[in-house]
Amino acid sequence: MNVPERWRSAITLLVFATVFITLTVSSYRHESATWDEPQHVVTGYNALRFHDYRTDPEHPPFLRMWAALPLLAMGDIKVDLWKIDQTDPFSWVTGGQFFFCHDVLYVANDADRLLYAARFMIVLLGVLLGMLLFCWARELLGFWPAVIALGLYTIEPNLLAHARLVTTDFGVTCFTFGTMYFLWRTARLLSLGNLCGLAGFFVLAQVSKFSALLLGPIVLALLVVRVCQKKSWPMSLGRQSDVRSRLEKLVAALSIVAMLAAGTWLAIWAVYNFRYLPSASTTWRWDFQQDPVILQRAPLLTKAVGWADQHRLLPNAYSQGFLLGQVKAQKRSGFLAGNYSVEGWWYFFPLAFLIKTPISVILLFLTGVVLCALRWRRFLDQNIYVFFPLAAFLGAAMMMKLNIGVRHILPIHPFVLLLAGNAIAELYASQRKPFRVLLGAIYLLAVMEFALVCPHYLAFFNQFGGGPQNGHKYLVDSNLDWGQDLKGLKSWMDQHEVQHINLSYFGTADPTYYKIDCTYLPGGAFFDEPLVKAPQLPGFVAVSATNLRGVYFSEGSRNIYQRLLEREPVAIIGYSIYVYRVERPWWQ
């Protein structure tokens, strides 16, 4: 890359970073915590500050620790670990941790102060992922198609939504894409820089989320493909040479696998402070393999994890957290287009992708796929590194029974944009004016889709799904309503001089923290359950979209709020909280 192009790239990335940070920060400052954020923030802080990994073991701690880094500079954060010491491990993980994280964030400390600082760290990962996408697209497609693809990334609502939340979803998306980018580069040239990039992103993914374990077989399969190719494997490790024979290439591939395996094992121990037990307490540890329910649901996995834990091959919090997460994912209430299930639907994620992805991106993506098919001779050299991880993550999600959010296939989205880049490059390079006009029209459509939902990115639905105002008819939970709009509800109450409201809120943020005077209705947060009572009517009733659909209610009580759907709401807050004026009991 020559000097002028380096300057063009640097300016492009600087403008991108400025716009992306502005869009994400200005949005997250207007939203309350989503359902999982209190756990992630408190878990990360306890791991960093106290080397205590007991708060929530369902994910490896790196991303949570990354998000909690700015909190170390806040010397006045109050956390009482004594509560964990006084709770047995099983009671803690099934209930105690939720109350603990709520109290740390909303009772002992200033929740928004901690949350904003932690969210910004995830925004930085959003900037990093954009840079990786630009670099890969530039090498594949050229400068201007890469700029256009980066522009699409900047306003893609699903990526924007999760790039500003303290969860593990966006971080593992970033690290997965980085792994594939450097694997592609490594397959072209065995160099120290490419190997370090591959190892770094692969290891970061493994200590961020258990779903990243899927990267292992993906990388292995693609290395096998590289070994089987007839062409030589260029190498620049101390000297320039070519790895020519299949045996030499096999040795190189096995060396890479060994490097990744050893690096991952060391990183797992390092992120848990090279300690087997989850805390300084010598008597506190998890033994989920002793639980009969867990043993019944996953007998083989339970025995395997128990054996590994017995021999201390991995930290207790890591191995037991993996077991707990896999068992909990086997049964979870789900909602799809008016239907309910705890077993899930194989087509949940394809349908969610079709109605949650901008139409402009879908059009470019499908065109890009067709172009790749027409240029099949380049498949093993280029496109397989994009197609294979996309298909693997989507296929794995489709086989799982955990159907609660499109965020579980978030890792496929940057690959979708990279494939869309093929169509962008073709339209941009065309000498025919209609094709240039078509590219401009599609890009204008992308801007319009973004503008219609801004700044409520989480609630985005395209017009295939009727837009965000109709999203609750198809999907809820983290696809639309994740507890993010309490601040918006308080603003509406202030604007309309509403002093009191009846509230059924799906989330973990605390209404009292935002000075919302309310009567708690069924379906609220766990800490509100003792306060639930009959609504004060006539008056205003605010119900989260997830509760309107009764997704997590028992079958007998699922219809408690559904009659409200027949009424016209007086307000819809961020597309996730519906406000009604009610004169008399609606359920009678």
Residue 293's pLDDT is what? 85
Return the structure tokens found at 560. 């408690």
* % of the chain at pLDDT higher than 70: 99
pTM: 0.96
66-70, 321-325, 401-405, 533-537: lowest mean pLDDT where? Answer: 401-405
Per-residue pLDDT, averaged over 228-250, amounts to: 91
DSSP string for 463-500: GGGT-GGGGGGT--GGGT-SSTTHHHHHHHHHHTT---
Residue 342 has pLDDT above 80, yes or no: yes
> Which sign, positive or negative, has the C-alpha torsion 206, 122, 394, 506?
positive
| Burial class (CB within 10 angstroms; exposed 0-12, middle 13-18, buried 19+) of 323 | buried
Q: Write b or e for each residue in 156-179: b if 16 or more Cβ atoms lie within 10 A of its Cβ, otherwise e.
A: bbbbbbbbbbbbbbbbbbbbbbbb
- Tracing tokens 């690959």 back to the chain, one arrives at 415
Instruction: Report whether 13 contacts 119 (CB < 8 A).
Output: no
Long-range (24+ apart) CB contacts under 8 A made by 124-127 are 125/66, 125/163, 125/170, 125/171, 125/174, 126/20, 126/24, 126/159, 126/160, 126/163, 126/164, 126/170, 126/174, 127/16, 127/17, 127/20, 127/21
Residue 381 has pLDDT above 90, yes or no: no
Residue 330 has pLDDT above 90, yes or no: no
Residue 1's pLDDT is what? 63
Residue 526 has pLDDT above 70, yes or no: yes
Element (H, E) at 24: helix 3-28
Alpha carbon distances (Å) from 530 to 344, 393, 503, 526, 557: 31, 41, 14, 9, 18
First-to-last alpha carbon distance for the chain, in angstroms, is: 71
R_g of the chain computed on alpha carbons? 25
Task: Please tell me whether residue 243 adopts helix, strand or coil conformation.
Answer: strand
Return the structure tokens found at 298. 């996953």
Residue 289's pLDDT is what? 87
* % of the chain at pLDDT higher than 90: 86
Q: How far apart are CA 115 and CA 97, in angstroms?
A: 18
Q: How far apart are CA 190 and CA 28, in angstroms?
A: 41
Task: Please tell me whether residue 56 adopts helix, strand or coil conformation.
Answer: coil
Instruction: Report whether 401 contacts 344 (CB < 8 A).
Output: yes
The model's confidence at residue 455, banded by pLDDT at 50, 70 and 90, is very high
The closest of 371, 421, 471, 439 to 157, measured between CA atoms, is: 471
Residue 46's pLDDT is what? 97
DSSP 8-state symbol, 533: -
Residue 306's pLDDT is what? 92
Residue 357's pLDDT is what? 98
- Mean residue pLDDT across the chain: 94
Return the structure tokens found at 138. 């530039």
DSSP 8-state symbol, 35: T
Highest mean pLDDT among 232-246, 500-514, 518-532 belongs to 500-514
The model's confidence at residue 64, banded by pLDDT at 50, 70 and 90, is very high
Q: How many C-beta atoms lie closer than 10 Å to residue 447's C-beta? A: 14
Residue 62 has pLDDT above 70, yes or no: yes
Assign 3-class secondary structure to 337-353: CCEEECCCCCCHHHHHH
Taking 3-state DSSP, the helix, strand and coil percentages for the chain, each rounded to the nearest 5, stand at 65, 5, 30
Residue 391's pLDDT is what? 96
147-156, 478-487, 490-499, 527-536: lowest mean pLDDT where? Answer: 527-536
Return the structure tokens found at 194. 């490419």
Residue 2's pLDDT is what? 65
Angle between helices 413-429 and 143-154 (to 10 degrees): 140
Q: Write b or e for each residue in 216-235: b if 16 or more Cβ atoms lie within 10 A of its Cβ, otherwise e.
A: bebbeebbeebbeeeeebeb
Alpha carbon distances (Å) from 15 to 8, 9, 164: 11, 10, 18
| pLDDT digit string, tens, across residues 208-234 | 999 999 999 999 999 999 999 989 999
Q: How far apart are CA 271 and CA 21, in angstroms?
A: 28
440 Cβ neighbours under 8 A, 6+ residues apart: none
